[in-house]
Amino acid sequence: MPVFAYRGLSTEGRSVSGVIDADSARTAREKLRGSGVFPTDLAEESVGQPRAKREIPFRRRGMSAGDLALLTRQLGSLLGAGVQLVDALGALAEQSSRAPVKRILSQVRERVREGSSLADALKVHPHIFSDLYVGMVRAGEQAAALEAVLDRLADYNERQAEFMAKVRAALTYPIIMIIVGTAIMTFLVTYVVPQVATIFEQQHAALPLATQILIAVSSFLTGYWLWIAVALLGATAGILYGLSTARGRRFYDSMTLRLPYVGQTVVRIVCARFARTLATLLEAGVQLLPALDAVKAVVTNGLLREAIEKSREEIREGHGMAQTLSQSKLFPPMLIEMIRVGERSGELERMLERVADNYEREVAHSLSQVTTILEPMMTLMMAAVIVFMMVAVLLPIFQLNQIMQ
């Protein structure tokens, strides 16, 4: 059934827009009028190739892990209640309040109605449904366990959303402190200090060292701000260009892993996502080699991703995963040992779940400790800068008062 995008007016006179499925444009208009919407613009949407103009905003926003988890959970619940897949997709499209989501679900439903599998219908929208998501849905369809796979997918997305929320929450306060503190100091040094310095210079009095340093920094920033801005923009452009090249990205990934504390934290985050994703895929019935191929999408560090790919090729030749991963010297011993125990006991999924839980707790605890240390340190640093500026400004004022007396 075709899908139509519409714009119109409600019975209250407000502008409304969305999508609706109907056999023809005439039927679509009748359905809209029946629901209290008077269409002013109606255009058929291509199921296979959505119009680029309408999809651009959706591509930019995408869908958060939490929203995707909720959508997945609802679809699994409807299927578990005995609702047919086409009807379940239609119900989700009808209840969605976001026009882009409604459009995507309508297009997926039409593809399924035309005989396509759900995985193939989702694959048309890679900006929403990743290869990992599509692969698990395909495994669920092949094993006739789509409902169970959707529940696992929802659990996985909820865990990922919760984990990333903890990471963002731990880093938000220090970042805000740095931005606000830098902005305040820049304002004081470039605007306030020059005005105070003018008064001091008019008195031709000897200035304390702290005042001389502050005036020198202020003069440098106000006199060369354009060159400083150009240098910062050039450095940023150079870094972004370097990261866009394979060599530059590899250098960045290598240096990240070597940084004290940061490297260990990055490895733990990557290992947590790797173990959680691989366990979810294996529990869904995906074979180990396809699962390792799909899990590379969640590994952001290039060196670790290359190690997983090399491990996958050696597993194809008959080697164990623990043995092949240990050869890279990049993965922590606990992950290797847990994988080895899982391979020997036949409970690899359970071992991966345990190691993922452990690393997520370690990352959360580590970030909490860093935040606890950073907050007083940054407060002390800002206080020290403020005290320095106060001393640099107040000392000459005291000297001027003594001279005038």
Report domain extents, the chain: 1-45, 262-361
Contact between 65 and 164 under an 8 Å Cβ cutoff? The reply is yes
CA angle 211, 212, 214 (to 5 degrees): 65
Please, which pLDDT band fits residue 45 given cuts at 50, 70 and 90?
low
Of residues 330, 281, 340, the one with CA closest to residue 308: 330
Question: Residue 1 — very low, low, confident or very high, per pLDDT cuts 50/70/90?
Answer: low
Q: Is the pLDDT of residue 237 over 90?
A: yes
196/390 Cα distance (integer angstroms):
12
Res 234 pLDDT > 90: yes
Contact 322, 307 (CB under 8 A): no
Joined together, the tokens standing for residue 171 give 């880093």
Residue 246 pLDDT > 80, yes or no? yes
Report the b/e string of 12-34 with b at 16+ CB within 10 A. eeeebebbbbbeeeeebbebbee
Q: Is 245 exposed, middle or buried (0-12, 13-18, 19+ CB in 10 A)?
A: exposed
In whole angstroms, give the CA distance from residue 311 to residue 281.
Answer: 17
Q: What is d(CA 222, CA 126) in angstroms, rounded to the nearest whole number?
A: 48
What's the pLDDT score for residue 276? 83
The whole-chain average pLDDT of the chain stands at 79
* Whole-Å CA distances, 11 to 15, 27, 35, 40, 301: 10, 19, 9, 13, 54
Quote the CA–CA distance of 281 and 356 in Å, as a whole number: 14
pLDDT band at 356 (very low <50, low <70, confident <90, very high): confident
pLDDT at residue 28 in the model: 74
Q: Could you give the CA distance from residue 294 to residue 287 in angstroms, rounded to a whole number?
A: 11
Name the residue among 144, 122, 131 with its Cα closest to residue 72: 122
Mean of pLDDT values over 313-342? 88
Q: In what order do the strands lie in the sheet with 15-21?
A: 15-21, 3-10, 37-45
* pLDDT attached to residue 59: 35
Question: Taking a C-beta distance cutoff of 8 angstroms, is the pair 351, 339 a contact?
Answer: yes
The tens digit of pLDDT for each residue in 358-391 reads: 988 888 788 777 777 777 887 788 788 778 877 7
pLDDT for res 351: 92
Q: Tell me: pLDDT of 154 over 80.
A: yes
CA 373, 379, 380, 381 dihedral sign is positive
pTM exceeds 0.75, yes or no: no
Could you say which of 3.40.50.170, 1.10.540.10, 2.40.128.260, 1.20.81.30 is the CATH number of the domain covering 262-361?
Answer: 1.20.81.30
Q: Which of 106-115, 132-141, 366-375, 389-398 has the highest mean pLDDT?
A: 106-115
Q: Report the pLDDT averaged over residues 290-300.
A: 78
